[in-house]
Structure 1
């Protein structure tokens, strides 16, 4: 069986990280890469140079995971709001044998706002993320990917649904 790159995308706060952490326990042997880890810098600066570095680092890590004989599933979570971003990453890995599935986590604006507000109250995010994330939400609805509505489900339930879909069409 070919390695499987499972991409979990969605807007900020929708539950990608929590879903991937749960999915890692269900789909084994697996590894989880959060694209945000490659952006974890202070100050956070979005520049052409930093974007190029982040893409190169993500591709490097994904390549190493895909080439590791002990792994079957590579879970990659990130805020991929444009298909061109994913195409760029996949083109960097085109010489490797693997199958790729893209799952987009979507939810209602109300559910997203409630999740983000909890994060703000816990000091995990700043309040400015709420309008930015809500503004991007429609971009994910338009993506040609497998959608998982997480409005009323836990991260564990979302992970179980994704695992079911993968098992149904390996």
Structure 2
């Protein structure tokens, strides 16, 4: 791990007993859900919250009332997980394409003591198009999500996170890299 990545993981590692909050972000199609699902299985005493679960509204409507509800639900769950004495790892994934969204999430739990790991999954445009197109064919995503995701992809390079490029690696290797990050800081 380089010095920049280590520096980006501030406010961490004061004690072994300290909970670990692992925030995994990235645009649609980079592998957040698959990575966090497997990571949750590999880490004992862990819980996983996918921020998209809080947006399972049909029809999908983004308005102030729904945004507030989603934020409240995320806050409640993260705080509950961080309060639970049986949990060591709290895994949270979401799109989080802007720093102000990351700040909002972290402000929800700022009064808790935890090690913070901010990890961004990214990939090439070609890999992203291929992945989302496959999801479109399977009815899991809509065609317009390709353009939206491509538009947001460059925003992740600017964030103060540890980056993992998933273009040419599978979920198992991505999870192994996350585990190395957790052990190496």
Match for residue 36 of structure 2 among 4, 17, 20: 20
Residue in 2 that maps onto 1:155: 171
Correspondence 1:1-170 to 2 at 5 A: 1-169=17-185
Quote the offset at 1:94 in angstroms: 1.4
Deviations 1:23-64 (A, max 9, x none): 112222101100000000011011122111111110110000
> Shift of residue 89 of structure 1?
1.7
TM-score (norm 1): 0.97
> What's the secondary structure of 1:51's corresponding residue?
helix
- Aligned-pair distance for 1:98? 1.1
Stretches of structure 1 that go unaligned for 5 or more consecutive residues are none
Query: How many pairs align?
Result: 169
- Asked whether the 8 Å contact 1:102–1:145 carries over to 2, the reply is yes
Distance 2:42 2:99 in 1: 27
Unaligned runs of 5+ in 2: 1-16
State how far apart, in whole Å, the 2-side matches of 1:47 and 1:56 are.
14
